[in-house]
C-alpha cells in the first residue's frame, strides 16, 4: 500500500569547516520532499565526516561531543519514525562507497556535505538536496521538511546502518553498526 520514500542527506560538519564548495550549485535541483508518509516509510541516507576524523579535529571541534550528537541525532530520527542509513567518511575514501550504498534504492532527498555532491548526483540525479550545517540539527532539519502523518512514538523507524569508514591513521575510533541495534549505537564508538 505504502511505498518507501527515500531521502539522502549530506551533513556538513559545521558551517565553518573549510571544505571547498563544489563548483556546481544544488539550487536548481527540484526538491520534492516526500509528503503524506507515515512511520517507517521514509529512508534517510546521511553522509558527512566521521566525528573523529583528523580534519574535524583540526577544525577545533570537540569531537567527542560531535560524535555523541551525531549518534543521538540518528537515534532521534529513528525514534521519530524514519529509517536511517548513515555513511560517514572523509575525502580520503572513494566516493564510490556512497554509490555502492545507495545502489538499488530510489532516494528522495540528498543532503550535502563537502564535495560528495557530484557522486550523489550521479547516483541519484533527481533527488532533492538538503544542506545540514551542524551535528545537532540533522533530525530537526529532516522532520521539519518531512512531517510524518502519524505519531511514531510506538512505531520507530529502523537503523539501516551506521557506518564510519576511516583509516586508523586518520580516525582514532569509529562506529560501525550493521545489525540495527540502537542500543549499540548509543553506546559509542565500537571500532
Ligand atoms: C568534550 O565533550 C565531552 C562530551 O560532551 C565532554 O565530556 C568533554 O568535557 C568535552 N571536552 C572539552 C575539552 O571541552
Ligand atoms: C550487534 O552486533 C554487535 C557486534 O557487531 C554485537 O556486540 C551486538 O550484541 C549486536 N546486537 C544485536 C542486538 O544483535
Let me know the angle formed at the C-alpha of 29 by 75 and 19, rounded to the nearest 5 degrees. 65
CA 149 to chain CA centroid, nearest Å:
22
Higher-confidence residue of 149 and 16: namely: 149
Using CA of residue 141, residue 146, residue 149, residue 155, what is the dihedral sign? Answer: negative
Q: Is 179 in the pocket of ligand 2 (CB under 6 A)?
A: yes
- What is the model's pTM? 0.78
How many angstroms separate the alpha carbon of residue 35 from the centre of ligand 2? 34
Residue 94: the pLDDT is 84
Cell of 182: 540502537
How many angstroms separate the alpha carbon of residue 136 from the centre of ligand 1? 15
**Percent of the residues in the chain that have a pLDDT greater than 70, as a whole number:** 66
pLDDT grade for 8, boundaries at 50, 70 and 90: low
Is there a contact between 171 and 56 (Cβ–Cβ < 8 Å)? no
Residue 142: the pLDDT is 80
φ, ψ (nearest 5 deg) of residue 168: -60, -20
Best residue among 175, 176, 184, 189 to mutate for probing ligand 2, ranked by most atoms within 8 Å of CB? 184
Residue 117: the pLDDT is 45
pLDDT above 80 for 89: yes
Q: Where are the domains of the chain?
A: 5-13+37-187
Q: Whose CA is nearest to atom 9 of ligand 2?
A: 184
pLDDT, tens digit (0-9, with 9 covering 90-100), for 21-40: 344 444 444 456 778 889 99
Identify the nearest ligand to the CA of 163 by its number: 2
Residue 28: the pLDDT is 41
Amino acid at each position: 500500500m505504502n511505498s518507501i520514500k527515500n531521502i539522502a542527506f549530506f551533513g556538513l560538519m559545521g558551517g565553518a569547516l573549510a571544505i571547498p564548495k563544489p563548483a556546481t550549485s544544488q539550487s536548481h535541483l527540484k526538491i520534492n520532499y516526500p509528503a503524506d508518509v507515515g512511520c517507517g516509510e521514509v529512508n534517510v541516507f546521511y553522509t558527512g565526516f566521521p566525528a573523529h576524523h583528523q580534519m574535524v579535529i583540526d577544525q577545533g571541534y570537540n569531537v567527542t561531543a560531535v560524535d555523541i550528537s551525531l549518534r543521538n541525532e540518528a537515534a532521534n530520527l529513528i525514534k521519530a519514525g524514519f529509517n536511517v542509513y548513515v555513511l560517514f567518511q572523509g575525502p580520503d575514501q572513494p566516493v564510490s562507497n556512497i554509490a555502492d550504498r545507495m545502489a538499488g534504492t530510489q532516494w528522495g532527498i540528498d543532503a550535502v556535505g563537502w564535495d560528495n555532491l557530484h557522486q550523489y548526483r550521479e547516483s541519484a540525479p533527481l533527488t532533492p538536496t538538503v544542506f545540514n550545517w551542524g551535528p545537532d540539527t540533522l533530525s530537526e532539519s529532516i522532520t521539519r521538511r518531512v512531517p510524518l502523518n502519524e505519531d511514531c512514538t510506538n512505531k520507530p523507524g529502523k537503523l539501516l546502518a551506521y557506518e564510519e569508514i576511516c583509516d586508523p591513521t586518520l580516525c582514532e575510533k569509529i562506529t560501525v553498526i550493521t545489525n540495527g541495534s540502537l542500543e549499540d549505537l548509543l553506546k559509542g564508538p565500537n571500532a
